[in-house]
Protein backbone atom coordinates (compact mmCIF):
# COMPACT_ATOMS: atom_id res chain seq x y z
CA UNK A 1 0.00 0.00 0.00
CA UNK A 2 1.00 3.64 -0.08
CA UNK A 3 3.11 5.46 -2.66
CA UNK A 4 5.61 2.64 -3.18
CA UNK A 5 2.98 -0.08 -3.47
CA UNK A 6 0.51 1.76 -5.66
CA UNK A 7 1.84 0.31 -8.91
CA UNK A 8 1.30 -3.24 -7.63
CA UNK A 9 -2.39 -2.46 -7.04
CA UNK A 10 -3.02 -0.62 -10.31
CA UNK A 11 -0.95 -2.88 -12.57
CA UNK A 12 -1.95 -6.27 -11.21
CA UNK A 13 -3.38 -7.28 -14.58
CA UNK A 14 -0.10 -6.49 -16.32
CA UNK A 15 1.68 -9.10 -14.21
CA UNK A 16 -0.95 -11.80 -14.62
CA UNK A 17 -2.82 -11.35 -11.34
CA UNK A 18 -6.55 -11.94 -11.47
CA UNK A 19 -7.40 -9.68 -8.51
CA UNK A 20 -6.01 -6.92 -6.31
CA UNK A 21 -6.76 -5.22 -2.99
CA UNK A 22 -8.84 -2.05 -2.69
CA UNK A 23 -10.30 -0.20 0.26
CA UNK A 24 -11.39 3.08 1.78
CA UNK A 25 -8.59 3.40 4.38
CA UNK A 26 -6.83 6.26 2.63
CA UNK A 27 -4.77 7.14 5.72
CA UNK A 28 -2.77 3.91 5.23
CA UNK A 29 -2.52 4.35 1.48
CA UNK A 30 -5.33 2.17 0.16
CA UNK A 31 -6.83 2.87 -3.26
CA UNK A 32 -10.60 2.70 -3.40
CA UNK A 33 -12.35 0.33 -5.79
CA UNK A 34 -14.01 3.37 -7.37
CA UNK A 35 -10.61 4.97 -8.08
CA UNK A 36 -9.17 1.75 -9.50
CA UNK A 37 -12.11 1.36 -11.87
CA UNK A 38 -12.76 5.01 -12.80
CA UNK A 39 -9.34 6.67 -12.65
CA UNK A 40 -7.10 3.75 -13.61
CA UNK A 41 -9.47 1.63 -15.74
CA UNK A 42 -8.28 -1.42 -13.82
CA UNK A 43 -10.29 -3.95 -15.83
CA UNK A 44 -8.63 -2.75 -19.05
CA UNK A 45 -5.04 -3.27 -17.85
CA UNK A 46 -3.34 -6.26 -19.47
CA UNK A 47 0.21 -7.37 -20.16
CA UNK A 48 -0.01 -5.34 -23.39
CA UNK A 49 -1.00 -2.06 -21.71
CA UNK A 50 1.47 0.80 -22.13
CA UNK A 51 2.43 2.22 -18.75
CA UNK A 52 3.20 5.89 -18.07
CA UNK A 53 4.14 7.38 -14.72
CA UNK A 54 4.01 10.58 -12.73
CA UNK A 55 7.34 10.77 -10.92
CA UNK A 56 7.97 13.18 -8.08
CA UNK A 57 8.57 13.58 -4.38
CA UNK A 58 4.89 13.94 -3.42
CA UNK A 59 2.43 12.88 -6.11
CA UNK A 60 -0.42 11.23 -4.23
CA UNK A 61 -2.44 14.45 -4.61
CA UNK A 62 -1.87 14.57 -8.39
CA UNK A 63 -4.92 14.45 -10.65
CA UNK A 64 -2.78 13.48 -13.64
CA UNK A 65 -3.77 9.78 -13.62
CA UNK A 66 -7.50 10.57 -13.77
CA UNK A 67 -6.99 13.32 -16.35
CA UNK A 68 -4.62 11.49 -18.68
CA UNK A 69 -6.34 8.12 -18.42
CA UNK A 70 -9.61 9.83 -19.39
CA UNK A 71 -7.82 11.28 -22.42
CA UNK A 72 -6.41 7.87 -23.34
CA UNK A 73 -9.89 6.37 -23.14
CA UNK A 74 -11.36 9.19 -25.25
CA UNK A 75 -8.82 8.33 -27.95
CA UNK A 76 -9.80 4.66 -27.73
CA UNK A 77 -6.35 3.65 -26.53
CA UNK A 78 -5.56 1.69 -23.38
CA UNK A 79 -2.38 3.12 -21.86
CA UNK A 80 -2.40 3.61 -18.11
CA UNK A 81 -0.75 6.40 -16.14
CA UNK A 82 0.23 5.71 -12.56
CA UNK A 83 1.66 7.85 -9.78
CA UNK A 84 5.23 6.93 -8.91
CA UNK A 85 7.05 8.07 -5.80
CA UNK A 86 10.44 6.48 -6.44
CA UNK A 87 12.75 5.60 -3.57
CA UNK A 88 16.35 6.81 -3.67
CA UNK A 89 17.96 6.55 -6.10
CA UNK A 90 15.09 7.75 -8.32
CA UNK A 91 13.81 5.86 -11.35
CA UNK A 92 16.26 5.74 -14.20
CA UNK A 93 16.89 3.76 -17.41
CA UNK A 94 18.98 1.40 -15.31
CA UNK A 95 16.31 0.80 -12.66
CA UNK A 96 13.16 0.68 -14.79
CA UNK A 97 13.25 -3.11 -14.53
CA UNK A 98 10.21 -5.25 -15.23
CA UNK A 99 7.55 -2.54 -15.24
CA UNK A 100 8.86 -1.29 -18.58
CA UNK A 101 7.30 2.16 -18.65
CA UNK A 102 6.73 3.94 -21.97
CA UNK A 103 7.19 7.41 -20.53
CA UNK A 104 6.67 9.63 -17.53
CA UNK A 105 5.65 13.08 -16.40
CA UNK A 106 8.34 14.46 -14.07
CA UNK A 107 7.69 16.94 -11.27
CA UNK A 108 9.55 18.35 -8.26
CA UNK A 109 12.08 17.54 -6.95
CA UNK A 110 13.20 15.34 -9.86
CA UNK A 111 13.18 17.77 -12.81
CA UNK A 112 16.86 18.55 -12.38
CA UNK A 113 18.13 15.35 -10.76
CA UNK A 114 16.73 13.12 -13.53
CA UNK A 115 18.28 15.36 -16.20
CA UNK A 116 21.55 13.40 -15.96
CA UNK A 117 19.83 10.02 -15.73
CA UNK A 118 18.32 9.87 -19.21
CA UNK A 119 20.05 8.71 -22.40
CA UNK A 120 19.21 11.72 -24.55
CA UNK A 121 17.94 15.27 -24.06
CA UNK A 122 15.85 17.33 -26.46
CA UNK A 123 17.45 20.69 -27.29
CA UNK A 124 14.91 22.81 -25.38
CA UNK A 125 15.30 20.72 -22.24
CA UNK A 126 19.10 20.87 -22.58
CA UNK A 127 19.00 24.64 -22.68
CA UNK A 128 16.76 24.78 -19.62
CA UNK A 129 18.79 22.21 -17.72
CA UNK A 130 15.72 20.35 -16.47
CA UNK A 131 13.14 17.88 -17.79
CA UNK A 132 9.44 17.46 -17.12
CA UNK A 133 8.74 14.52 -19.45
CA UNK A 134 10.43 11.26 -20.31
CA UNK A 135 9.75 9.37 -23.52
CA UNK A 136 11.02 5.82 -23.95
CA UNK A 137 11.98 4.78 -27.48
CA UNK A 138 13.56 1.38 -28.13
CA UNK A 139 14.75 1.18 -24.54
CA UNK A 140 16.34 4.64 -24.57
CA UNK A 141 15.05 7.33 -22.22
CA UNK A 142 14.65 10.76 -23.85
CA UNK A 143 14.09 13.81 -21.68
CA UNK A 144 11.98 16.76 -22.79
CA UNK A 145 10.61 19.96 -21.31
CA UNK A 146 7.22 21.53 -22.10
CA UNK A 147 7.23 23.98 -19.18
CA UNK A 148 8.58 26.88 -21.25
CA UNK A 149 6.08 26.62 -24.10
CA UNK A 150 3.25 25.81 -21.70
CA UNK A 151 4.02 28.95 -19.71
CA UNK A 152 4.48 31.26 -22.71
CA UNK A 153 1.51 30.30 -24.88
CA UNK A 154 -1.30 31.71 -22.70
CA UNK A 155 0.85 34.70 -21.71
CA UNK A 156 1.56 35.72 -25.30
CA UNK A 157 -2.19 35.85 -25.97
CA UNK A 158 -2.63 38.53 -23.28
CA UNK A 159 0.45 40.78 -23.12
CA UNK A 160 3.29 42.03 -25.33
CA UNK A 161 6.41 40.43 -23.83
CA UNK A 162 9.37 42.28 -25.47
CA UNK A 163 10.69 44.88 -23.03
CA UNK A 164 8.47 43.72 -20.17
CA UNK A 165 10.03 43.57 -16.70
CA UNK A 166 9.47 40.25 -14.96
CA UNK A 167 10.39 38.76 -11.59
CA UNK A 168 10.66 35.00 -11.20
CA UNK A 169 10.34 33.58 -7.69
CA UNK A 170 12.27 30.34 -7.18
CA UNK A 171 15.16 28.59 -8.88
CA UNK A 172 14.02 25.00 -9.37
CA UNK A 173 13.21 23.15 -12.57
CA UNK A 174 10.02 25.09 -13.35
CA UNK A 175 11.72 28.43 -12.57
CA UNK A 176 14.51 27.54 -14.98
CA UNK A 177 12.00 26.95 -17.75
CA UNK A 178 10.12 30.18 -17.02
CA UNK A 179 13.35 32.19 -16.89
CA UNK A 180 14.53 30.83 -20.24
CA UNK A 181 11.09 31.40 -21.79
CA UNK A 182 10.81 35.01 -20.63
CA UNK A 183 14.38 35.94 -21.50
CA UNK A 184 14.09 34.42 -24.98
CA UNK A 185 10.93 36.50 -25.51
CA UNK A 186 12.74 39.79 -24.87
CA UNK A 187 11.76 40.33 -21.26
CA UNK A 188 14.03 41.92 -18.67
CA UNK A 189 14.12 39.19 -16.04
CA UNK A 190 15.19 39.24 -12.40
CA UNK A 191 15.39 35.97 -10.48
CA UNK A 192 14.65 35.76 -6.74
CA UNK A 193 15.18 32.62 -4.64
CA UNK A 194 15.89 31.65 -1.04
CA UNK A 195 18.99 29.77 -2.17
CA UNK A 196 21.24 32.47 -3.66
CA UNK A 197 23.71 29.96 -5.09
CA UNK A 198 20.94 28.08 -6.88
CA UNK A 199 19.54 31.36 -8.19
CA UNK A 200 22.92 32.37 -9.60
CA UNK A 201 23.30 28.96 -11.26
CA UNK A 202 19.86 29.30 -12.88
CA UNK A 203 20.53 32.91 -13.90
CA UNK A 204 23.66 31.87 -15.77
CA UNK A 205 21.51 29.95 -18.25
CA UNK A 206 20.33 33.19 -19.83
CA UNK A 207 22.44 35.92 -18.17
CA UNK A 208 19.49 37.36 -16.25
CA UNK A 209 19.82 39.36 -13.02
CA UNK A 210 19.66 37.87 -9.55
CA UNK A 211 17.63 39.87 -7.05
CA UNK A 212 17.25 39.79 -3.29
CA UNK A 213 15.07 37.36 -1.39
CA UNK A 214 12.42 38.33 -0.62
CA UNK A 215 12.02 40.84 -3.48
CA UNK A 216 12.27 44.46 -2.39
CA UNK A 217 8.82 46.06 -1.87
CA UNK A 218 7.66 47.73 -5.06
CA UNK A 219 10.61 46.50 -7.13
CA UNK A 220 8.48 44.18 -9.25
CA UNK A 221 5.99 46.81 -10.36
CA UNK A 222 6.39 47.80 -14.03
User: Burial letters for 179-197: b for 16+ Cβ neighbours within 10 Å, e otherwise?
Assistant: bbbbbebebebbbbbeeee
**What per-residue confidence (pLDDT) applies to 88?**
42
Candidate list 9, 111, 190, 192, residue with the active-site label: 111
Hey, where are the domains in the chain? Answer: 2-145, 148-210
∠ CA 174-182-113, nearest 5°, is 25
- The torsion angles phi and psi of 83, rounded to 5 degrees, stand at -70, 140
Tell me if 114 sits within 8 A of 143, measured CB to CB. Answer: yes
The domain 148-210 having CATH identifier 3.40.50.300: the answer here is no
Are 2-145 and 148-210 the same fold in CATH? Answer: yes
- Please say if 38 is a catalytic residue: no
pLDDT band at 87 (very low <50, low <70, confident <90, very high): very low
Is this structure's pTM higher than 0.75? Answer: no
The domain 2-145 having CATH identifier 3.40.50.10860: the answer here is yes
For the segment 18-26, the average pLDDT, to the nearest whole number, is 86
Tell me if 59 sits within 8 A of 27, measured CB to CB. Answer: no
Amino acid sequence: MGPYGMATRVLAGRFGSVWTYAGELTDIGQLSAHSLLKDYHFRSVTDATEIYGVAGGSVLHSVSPAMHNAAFRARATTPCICRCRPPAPPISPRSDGRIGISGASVTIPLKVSLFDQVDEIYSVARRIGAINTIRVEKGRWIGGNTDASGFLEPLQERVALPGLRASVLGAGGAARAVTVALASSGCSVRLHARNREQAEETAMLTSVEVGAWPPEPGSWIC
